[in-house]
Structure 1
Amino acid sequence: MNSTLVIVPKKKSSRVSWAQLNPDLLRIISKKLCDICSFICFRAVCKRWRAATSLSDPPRQFPCVIDWPKGKGKLDDTLRVYSISSRGTHTFEVPDAHFHGPSDGYMLLYEPYRSAKECQSFLNPLTWIEWLFPLDMPVHIVKPIRLGGNLIRNDGPALLYKDDEHYFLCFWQSEKNDWTEMRVPSINTVALYDHKIFFAELGHQYKRVGVIDETTGVLLSYLPPPKEYFDHRYLIATDDGLLAVEMKDGMTILPSLVKDVTKCQFEVFRLKNYPQNPHWTKLSGIGDLMLFLDQQNGFSLKASDFGGFKGNCIYFITTGRKFLKKGYEHVIGRFDLESNRTERVPAPAWLGLRQWERRAAWFIPTLN
């Protein structure tokens, strides 16, 4: 039998040049990135990738957890940011500064060498943009807060502070292009909704929710709290109204010190018929919303804006009962309102090395 040998020429292998990808495809890929830090690295690949994207149009940032060490004889100039979506840690160095906590995408700084230890500014650790204060305030009485509960309003950071006798709320108003400062009662949580500032006053003498006009600073009225024992509490502005969130009783041995994070549960209330007949209604669910709570603030986002995340949930940061060598254990939990169950969210080991007086917090990096 005669056989014929047929030689088939090899095809030239075509190598894809990643630098030559279509700009439209590059923009689609950039929108799928899980956090802004990855977006910055994406833009640093080459000129073509940088030209296809814009710093003014980054991917939506899922909330991160920010932590900073306690300074013992040295400056605590390192910020560590943990991304839940990518499970990665990013580190930022801010020399010659101490931190006092976040407000939106900014960190409250103070200079340790000034004689009165006065607060200096809010700083964006990604862009180094600073918001300078028009007044000096002692550090130990300042609390950075979040006013824009659902991130619709993101004019700038805000804080609460106290002088010798009174408490004050200080925040930036873009309409005035200036800081607004108003005197407020001793308050535990605050939220800006419908051009009004709602605050919870939960002392031994009063348990009530007050309402202040955003523009004039005039106290408009007081409302009853959502429930008689409204202690572990948050007020959160959303598109659908003002929410009040309460951690159920019996879960802690001290405020913010949790026995078992998987046993933490929450109740959610919505303010109805304000101002004619204001009252609170308990909700069985929050639909597409995700709530984020830490030991300072609370805010909301829509799960449909983030691929792979489920709504009707509450993400929270708390302090565990377990005591480590360098401090108490800090943990992240996720409470599902539909199943009424809580699970522990994976977190890096360093998150559990926090001192009692320093608290991890939710942080949303921004390029603004």
Structure 2
Amino acid sequence: MGSIISYQKKRKYDIVTKAADHDWSNLHQDLIIGLAEQIVSMKDFFAFRGVCKSWRSAAIKENCNRGLRLQHIVPVLVLPKNISAPIRNFYSLTKGEIYRLDLPETRGKLCFSSLGWSLTVSLDDSRLHLFNPLNHALIELPQLRAKTLILRNITKFVLSSNPSWTSNYGVMLQSNCFLVFYRPGYNNDKWTRIILPGSVEIFTDTIYYKGRFYVVGYKGGVFVCDMEDPKNAQMMLIAPALPQELFGLIYFKAPYLVESATGALLLVVCSFGYKKSESTLGCRVFKVSFGNGNSWSSESEVKNLGNRTLFLSANSSSFSIEALDDSICKPNCIYFLNRCHVSTRGDIDIGIYYMEDGNIERDLEKLSDFQYKGSSLTSHLWIQPSF
């Protein structure tokens, strides 16, 4: 059917302004639920809820799941703040506006994001929570023992599934050298440490892909996590490090892992010059070929993303969405946040890379100039609004 808003516009009336002239509450509940299942944007979701009480009761996650998928939802950019401040500024890509939200749950805590949820890490009492900034839902996670993982060393957080939709979700925390995993009911509700036997690797990104967790090292080597035995959880190499000859004299930043529109696992690297190490000069995308010996050949490089848009972040899960016709997101582009920490000097590395011509747009960097006051700043985050 398409979106509710566009559907109504074709018939030259608006479901909200005409609510007084039509008793929409008398529609059969099955029909209302059927309409809810066609919602494909957060804008339509809030408009749908505003019609009347019966429509609002139908606009719940179980009914909206079918259409309102994360692959269609344009993320918001969470801007840096002083870590002790409860107010967070969210920049809407779709509206081009900044919104201020009071999120006391994030005050004094490190924050990471995945599937619309945040991981909050308290440095005061070492408590970990999953937090949904849309509805303020809060899930307490088991504490980590100091020898398992130092909280300040957490660099990424990845969910296997949305906790709003299922209780069978997994949480993976990434540090520089190893991972820790938690799933309710798994390993006696304890965190499981996953190691790389006989080797030391600096990990830069983690993804949940087709039922398994994958992690990439700083040089581009890709590993899969084997967690069948909690007492012997480990990683296995499936793709070697990137050969330097692919880049010549160009250096590349920490690689990312993203799933493509066709279901392939992509490795994305952002390049920089030796004298300009803080700024990204370009991006290259490769398809991970699982163990066939040709993982990083010229044939594995992806030159066009089609109608897909990639979102990369040093502190958030990387992901892709489908750029719909009415979406503000640019197709065949890569939105990147390549700094783990912001600086009071304002030298950040944020931009949009155009795959077609290699140009980089840096307008997003201007959003945060007023934020850089004082120390102990949080980082930028991509968050996909989710129930």
Is contact 2:354–2:360 with CA below 8 Å preserved after alignment? yes
- Cα distance in structure 2, aligned partners of 1:61 and 1:169: 29
Question: Corresponding residue for 2:117?
Answer: 106
**SS of corresponding position for 1:279:** coil
Going from structure 1 to structure 2, the CA distance change for 1:251 and 1:235 (only over 3 Å counts) comes to farther
Query: Of residues 69, 92, 98 in structure 1, which corresponds to 2:101?
Result: 92
Are 2:131 and 1:123 aligned? yes
**SS of corresponding position for 2:306:** coil
Q: Map residues 325-340 of structure 1 onto 2, 5 A cutoff.
A: 327-328=345-346, 330=348, 332-340=350-358
Going from structure 1 to structure 2, the CA distance change for 1:305 and 1:69 (only over 3 Å counts) comes to same
Question: Corresponding residue for 1:11?
Answer: none
TM-score by length of 2: 0.68
Are 2:311 and 1:292 aligned? yes
Are 2:221 and 1:208 aligned? yes
- Cα distance in structure 2, aligned partners of 1:215 and 1:284: 37
**SS of corresponding position for 1:103:** strand
> CA deviation digits over 1:90-121, x for unaligned, max 9?
33323363231222222222446x4xx41331
Going from structure 1 to structure 2, the CA distance change for 1:46 and 1:222 (only over 3 Å counts) comes to closer
> CA deviation digits over 1:275-298, x for unaligned, max 9?
343512112212232111122342
Shift of 1:176: 8.9
Q: Map residues 176-187 of structure 1 onto 2, 5 A cutoff.
A: 181-185=192-196, 186-187=202-203
Q: Which amino acid aligns with 1:291?
A: L
Q: Which amino acid aligns with 2:303?
A: S
Q: Which amino acid aligns with 1:127?
A: N
Going from structure 1 to structure 2, the CA distance change for 1:215 and 1:311 (only over 3 Å counts) comes to farther
Going from structure 1 to structure 2, the CA distance change for 1:276 and 1:214 (only over 3 Å counts) comes to farther
Paired residues in the alignment total 327
**SS of corresponding position for 1:300:** strand
- Compare the two structures and name the one with the higher helix fraction: 2
Going from structure 1 to structure 2, the CA distance change for 1:178 and 1:337 (only over 3 Å counts) comes to farther
Question: Corresponding residue for 1:134?
Answer: 142
> CA deviation digits over 1:302-348, x for unaligned, max 9?
224864544221112346xx98xx55155642222122222234577
Question: Corresponding residue for 2:6?
Answer: none
Question: Corresponding residue for 2:248?
Answer: none
- Cα distance in structure 1, aligned partners of 2:173 and 2:336: 21
**SS of corresponding position for 2:81:** coil
Shift of 1:243: 0.9
Going from structure 1 to structure 2, the CA distance change for 1:66 and 1:90 (only over 3 Å counts) comes to same
Are 2:379 and 1:362 aligned? no
Q: Which runs of 5+ in 2 are unaligned?
A: 1-16, 197-201, 245-250
Q: Map residues 208-227 of structure 1 onto 2, 5 A cutoff.
A: 208-216=221-229, 217-221=233-237, 223-227=239-243
Question: Corresponding residue for 2:59?
Answer: 53
Question: How well do the aligned residues superpose, as a CA RMSD in angstroms?
Answer: 4.1
Shift of 1:183: 2.0
**SS of corresponding position for 2:293:** coil
Question: Corresponding residue for 2:74?
Answer: 62
Is contact 1:34–1:85 with CA below 8 Å preserved after alignment? no
Is contact 2:89–2:101 with CA below 8 Å preserved after alignment? yes
Q: Which runs of 5+ in 1 are unaligned?
A: 1-15
> CA deviation digits over 1:219-256, x for unaligned, max 9?
333532233265432122334321111112318734xx
Going from structure 1 to structure 2, the CA distance change for 1:179 and 1:193 (only over 3 Å counts) comes to farther
- Cα distance in structure 1, aligned partners of 2:159 and 2:33: 35
Q: Which amino acid aligns with 1:275?
A: G
Going from structure 1 to structure 2, the CA distance change for 1:252 and 1:313 (only over 3 Å counts) comes to farther
- Compare the two structures and name the one with the higher strand fraction: 1
Going from structure 1 to structure 2, the CA distance change for 1:353 and 1:298 (only over 3 Å counts) comes to same
- Cα distance in structure 1, aligned partners of 2:311 and 2:186: 28
Is contact 1:237–1:299 with CA below 8 Å preserved after alignment? yes
Is contact 2:73–2:321 with CA below 8 Å preserved after alignment? no
Shift of 1:270: 0.7
Q: Which has the larger radius of gyration?
A: 1
Is contact 1:66–1:82 with CA below 8 Å preserved after alignment? yes
Are 2:285 and 1:268 aligned? yes
Is contact 1:30–1:39 with CA below 8 Å preserved after alignment? no
Shift of 1:47: 2.0
Identity of aligned residues (%): 20
**SS of corresponding position for 2:152:** helix
